Amino acid sequence: MSITGIFLATVIVGGTGLLLGLFLGFFGKKFYVEVDERVEQIQEALPGNNCGGCGYAGCSALAEAIGKGEAPIDACPVGGAATAAIVGKIMGKEAGVSKRMTAFVKCAGSCEKTSVEYEYYGIQDCAMMNFVPGQSSKKCKDGCLGYGSCVQACLFDAIHIQNGIAVVDREKCKACGKCIAACPKHLIEMIPYDAKHMVACSSKAKGKQVMASCETGCIGCKKCEKVCEKGAVTVKDNLAWIDQEKCVNCGACKEACPRKVIL
């Protein structure tokens, strides 16, 4: 190849590169989206679990929502108060006092306390029980199935099956809510970490039916409701429930319960 040919090829390649550079630079500025530096800082402060416990798709989505003022600075249940304090500094807001929460399984029907109708041999998954007779091998159709769908959903190893029922480790629980979404029986709820009295039952069956299926199920006798001076305990649809905002942990309801279903 002659020197002229090499020179022309160089000019063509260089010119093409220059045009492409100008083209990309022009459209890069035209379509540039300004990024809020606070959003990047917030994302770095978040734990990065992407668990969805905040109600958003992941930590990046939450960071963007906080930056826009669409989500509170303490929206991350996993990070808790420590993360809220950091995010508050970034946003120039006071984090305030956030209450630590934990998951609680509303069932105490362990293997010794609950009766079974038949032995189940199949896929160990709670959701699959919708396809078996009675939707449970246990006589109590509202209790924990014990096949661990909540265990599989937990990202923090905070819930395990013990003696046929799911039990939450409060120290490990981050209140992300994954176990709540995974439970087909809707047995899990969020309660304050320092709560001392909870009703470990979800059965709304009448007393006679409950007594025939579980030794510790709530029979709706209302004795707990009658002794509570703060009005924290109510019985509805044959099932007791404790309002943790009103409860002062006096223990009167626990002492009055004949079934020992209040833990």
Residues 6+ apart with CB under 8 A from 23: none
CA distance 114 to 5: 91
The burial class, CB within 10 Å (0-12 / 13-18 / 19+), for 142 is buried
| pTM of this structure | 0.77
Domains and CATH numbers, the chain: 37-91 (1.10.15.40), 99-194 (3.30.70.20), 197-263 (3.30.70.20)
Of 209, 206, 197, 203, give the one whose Cα is nearest residue 260: 197
Q: For 193-241, how does the pLDDT look when each residue is reduced to its tens digit (9 = 90+)?
A: 999 999 999 999 999 999 999 999 999 999 999 999 999 999 999 999 9
CA pair distance 10, 33, nearest whole angstrom: 35
Q: Is 262 helix (H, G, I), strand (E, B) or coil?
A: strand
Lowest mean pLDDT among 125-134, 212-221, 223-232, 252-261: 125-134
Range in 72-76, 93-97, 243-247 the model is least confident about: 93-97
